[in-house]
Amino acid sequence: MSRNRWIVVIGIAALVIFAIVFGFLPKPVTVDIAKTTRGRMMVTVEEEGKTRVKDRYVISAPVAGYLRRVELDVGDPVKKGEVLAELESQRSAVLDPRSRAAAEAAVSAAEATLKAAEEAVRARAADAEYANANAVRATKLYKSGYISKDSMDQSEAQAKRTDADLHAARSAARSAQFDLDKARTSLGYSAAEQAVNRGKVVFVRAPAAGHVLKVYHESEGTVNSGDPLIDIGNPAALEVKVEVLSEDAVKIKPGMAVLFERWGGDANLSGRVRVVEPAGFTKISSLGVEEQRTLVIADITAPPESWQRLGDGYRVEARFVIWEGKDVLQVPASSLFRKGDEWEVFAVHNGKARLRPVQVGHRTGLAAEIVSGLSEGEEVIAHPDDSINDGTRVRPRKE
CATH number at residue 374: 2.40.420.20
Alpha carbons 91 and 74: distance in angstroms, whole number: 28
User: Could you give the CA distance from residue 114 to residue 121 in angstroms, rounded to a whole number?
Assistant: 10
The mean-pLDDT minimum among 192-196, 302-306, 356-360 falls in: 192-196
Please check whether residue 276 lies inside any domain of the structure: yes
Q: What is the pLDDT of residue 390?
A: 86
180 pLDDT band, cuts 50/70/90, is confident
Average pLDDT over residues 29-39: 89
301/360 same-domain check: no
Coil, helix or strand at residue 346: strand
Beta bridge partners of 372: 359
Do 173 and 105 share a structural domain? yes
Phi, psi of 221 (to 5 degrees): 165, 175
Q: What is the pLDDT of residues 60-110, one digit of tens each?
A: 999 888 899 999 999 899 999 999 999 888 776 666 677 777 777 777 888
| Alpha helix stretches (DSSP H) within the chain | 3-24, 97-144, 149-188, 246-249
Whether 87 and 50 share a structural domain: no
Whether residues 63 and 205 share a domain: the answer is yes
Banded pLDDT at 8 (limits 50, 70, 90): low
Minimum mean pLDDT range among 19-23, 61-65, 359-363, 374-378: 19-23
Residue 144 burial (CB count, 10 A):
8
Q: Is 269 exposed, middle or buried (0-12, 13-18, 19+ CB in 10 A)?
A: buried
Q: Are 138 and 183 members of one domain?
A: yes
Contact call for residues 386 and 380 (beta carbons, < 8 A) = no
- Is residue 117 a part of any domain in this protein? yes
- Quick one: 178 and 204 in the same domain? no
Residue 27's nearest CA partner among 360, 255, 375, 351 is: 351
Identify whether 1 is part of a domain: no
Q: Is residue 343 part of a domain?
A: yes
Mean pLDDT over 227-234 rounds to 92
What is the mean pLDDT of the segment spanning 3-22?
Answer: 65
Residue type at 170 in one-letter notation: R
Domain contains 250: yes
- Provide the terminal-to-terminal Cα distance of the chain, rounded to the nearest Å: 54
Q: What CATH number did the domain enclosing 273 receive?
A: 2.40.30.170
In the sheet where 83-88 sits, what is the strand order? 202-205, 83-88, 65-67, 221-223
Distance separating alpha carbons of residues 14 and 265, to the nearest angstrom: 70
| pLDDT value, residue 240 | 94
Q: Are 262 and 281 contained in the same domain?
A: yes
390 is a domain residue? yes
Last residue of a domain, one of 306, 321, 336: 321
Domain boundary among 321, 340, 357: 321
The residue type of 287 is L
* pLDDT score recorded for residue 50: 94
pLDDT at 276 over 90: yes
Residues 228 and 344 in one domain: no
Q: What is the extent of the structural domain holding 278?
A: 46-54+235-321
Specify the number of domains making up the chain: 4
Write out pLDDT tens, residues 132-174. Answer: 888 888 788 878 877 888 877 888 888 888 888 888 888 888 8
For the chain, give the mean pLDDT. 85
What is the reported pLDDT for 148? Answer: 81
Q: Does one domain contain both 276 and 244? A: yes
Asked whether the beta carbons of 369 and 363 are under 8 A apart, the reply is yes
Return d(Cα 123, Cα 270) in angstroms, integer: 94
CA dihedral 222, 201, 107, 169 (to 10 degrees): 150
Cα 180-182-184 angle, rounded to 5 deg: 70
Q: What is the pLDDT of residue 190?
A: 59
Element (H, E) at 380: strand 379-381
Decide if pLDDT at 45 tops 80.
Answer: yes
Q: What is the structure's pLDDT at 16?
A: 64
Q: What percentage of the chain carries pLDDT values higher than 70? A: 88
Helix (H, G, I), strand (E, B) or coil at 187: helix
Of 312, 299, 77, the C-alpha closest to 208 is 77
Among residues 110, 274, 95, 305, the alpha carbon closest in space to that of 192 is found at: 95
Cα 113 from chain centroid?
60
For the entire predicted model, the pTM comes to: 0.60
- Kindly state whether residues 77 and 222 are assigned to the same domain: yes
Mean pLDDT of all residues in 32-56: 91
**Amino acid 3: pLDDT:** 63
